[in-house]
């Protein structure tokens, strides 16, 4: 699935989409989730902190929220944030500079399917709300596995589809009816916020995604449901 109906590849369309919505992205994230996304990220940071990493690769870093949170909470860690969108990275760079974290957070353009880190060079890989945008999910996860040292961990935060009948129907109405209207109005890109719920619908369910992680070179693959299944935190160890 792609955000727009063009001849461009998914990767190119995703880059263009995030360039378009970068100025409004943070405000929309926090508004549309009622700031619950901050709670989920803090949980990811706690998981990563218990691993005591020195080198963290934050793939699809976006506007840098997770990278900044990790840098502030894990003082021994250096975080490398990578994202397709220069528009998103511009916002992230301003956050990093405002907090005086330039020596501990580096940011660069790139994607999960190309070599963004040397083999075995990082202790932890994180991805927050980014894996469903990978052009090639299996290849991207395999590349992230390659970047990890043996025994390194991956921690992924991603949207999911709630399975509780009543809550699931309510959330489906909100995500397909309300969210695209508000997101489109504030970002001036309705297609981007139509894409969000559709991309969540198409993303593998937790059990299937754990199987994909295992096929990409991971073991001890686990999923932790967040907020009645609106999101999942996936953790796995490099084989």
In this structure, what CATH number is given to the domain that contains residue 58?
3.40.50.150
Question: For residues 192 and 183, is the Cβ–Cβ distance under 8 A?
Answer: yes
User: What's the pLDDT score for residue 81?
Assistant: 98
Q: What radius of gyration do the chain's Cα atoms show?
A: 17
What percentage of the chain has pLDDT greater than the value 90? 87
User: What's the pLDDT score for residue 32?
Assistant: 79
Residue 112 annotated as lining a ligand binding site: yes
pLDDT confidence band for 70 (50 / 70 / 90):
very high
Mean predicted confidence (pLDDT) in 82-96: 97
Is 5 inside any structural domain? no
Q: Can you give the pTM of this predicted structure? A: 0.96
Is 3 inside any structural domain? no
Mean predicted confidence (pLDDT) in 55-84: 98
Residue 111 annotated as lining a ligand binding site: yes
User: What's the pLDDT score for residue 95?
Assistant: 97
Is 4 inside any structural domain? no
At residue 169, does pLDDT exceed 90? Answer: yes
Report d(CA 133, CA 181) in Å as an integer: 21
Is 167 inside any structural domain? yes
User: What's the pLDDT score for residue 96?
Assistant: 98
- Token readout for 105 is 């957070």
Mean predicted confidence (pLDDT) in 87-94: 98
Is 50 inside any structural domain? yes
pLDDT confidence band for 136 (50 / 70 / 90):
very high
Question: For residues 218 and 140, is the Cβ–Cβ distance under 8 A?
Answer: no
Is 1 inside any structural domain? no
User: What's the pLDDT score for residue 181?
Assistant: 93
For residue range 211-226, list pLDDT tens digits in order.
999 999 999 999 999 9
pLDDT confidence band for 233 (50 / 70 / 90):
very high
Question: For residues 97 and 168, is the Cβ–Cβ distance under 8 A?
Answer: no
Domain count, the chain: 1
Of 60, 238, 206, 56, the residue nearest 142 (C-alpha) = 238
SS (H, E, C) the chain: CCCCCCCCCHHHHHHHHHHHHHHHHHHHHHHHCCCHHHHHHHHHHHHHHCCCCCEEEEECCCCCHHHHHHHHHCCCCEEEEEECCHHHHHHHHHHHHHCCCCCCEEEEECCCCCCCCCCCCEEEEEEECCHHHCCCHHHHHHHHHHHEEEEEEEEEEEECCCCCHHHHHHHHHHHHHHHHHHHHHHHCCHHHHHHHHHHHHHCCCHHHHHHHHHHCCEEEEEEEEECCCCEEEEEEEEC
User: What's the pLDDT score for residue 149?
Assistant: 98
Is 2 inside any structural domain? no
pLDDT confidence band for 30 (50 / 70 / 90):
confident
pLDDT confidence band for 237 (50 / 70 / 90):
very high
At residue 62, does pLDDT exceed 90? Answer: yes
Report d(CA 154, CA 160) in Å as an integer: 18
User: What's the pLDDT score for residue 28?
Assistant: 84
Report d(CA 144, CA 104) in Å as an integer: 21
Residue 19 annotated as lining a ligand binding site: no
pLDDT confidence band for 115 (50 / 70 / 90):
confident
Tokens 């949207």, located at residue: 159
Mean predicted confidence (pLDDT) in 170-192: 92
Q: 176 lies in which domain range?
A: 10-238
User: What's the pLDDT score for residue 31?
Assistant: 82
- Could you tell me the sign of the dihedral formed by the alpha carbons of 234, 83, 107, 20, in that order? negative
Residue 58 annotated as lining a ligand binding site: no
Of 41, 103, 36, the residue nearest 73 (C-alpha) = 41
Mean predicted confidence (pLDDT) in 36-63: 97
């Amino acid at each position: 699935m792609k955000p727009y109906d063009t001849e461009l590849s998914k990767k190119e369309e995703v880059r263009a989409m995030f360039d378009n919505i970068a100025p409004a992205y943070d405000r929309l994230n926090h508004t549309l989730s009622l700031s619950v996304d901050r709670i989920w990220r803090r949980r990811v940071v706690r998981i990563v902190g218990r691993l005591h990493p020195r080198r963290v690769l934050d793939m699809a870093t976006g506007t840098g929220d997770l990278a900044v949170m990790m840098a502030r909470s894990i003082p021994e860690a250096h975080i490398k944030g990578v994202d397709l969108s220069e528009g998103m990275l511009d916002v992230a760079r301003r956050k990093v500079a405002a907090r005086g974290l330039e020596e501990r957070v580096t940011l660069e353009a790139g994607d999960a399917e190309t070599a963004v880190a040397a083999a075995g060079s990082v202790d932890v890989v994180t991805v927050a709300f980014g894996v469903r945008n990978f052009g090639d999910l299996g290849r991207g996860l395999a590349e992230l596995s390659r970047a990890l040292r043996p025994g390194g961990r991956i921690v992924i935060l991603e949207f999911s589809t709630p399975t509780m009948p009543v809550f699931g129907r309510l959330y489906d109405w909100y995500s397909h009816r309300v969210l695209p209207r508000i997101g489109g109005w504030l970002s001036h890109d309705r297609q981007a916020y139509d894409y969000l719920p559709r991309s969540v619908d198409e993303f593998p369910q937790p059990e299937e995604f754990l199987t994909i992680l295992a096929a990409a070179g991971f073991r001890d693959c686990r999923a932790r449901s967040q907020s009645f299944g609106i999101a999942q935190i996936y953790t796995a160890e490099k084989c």
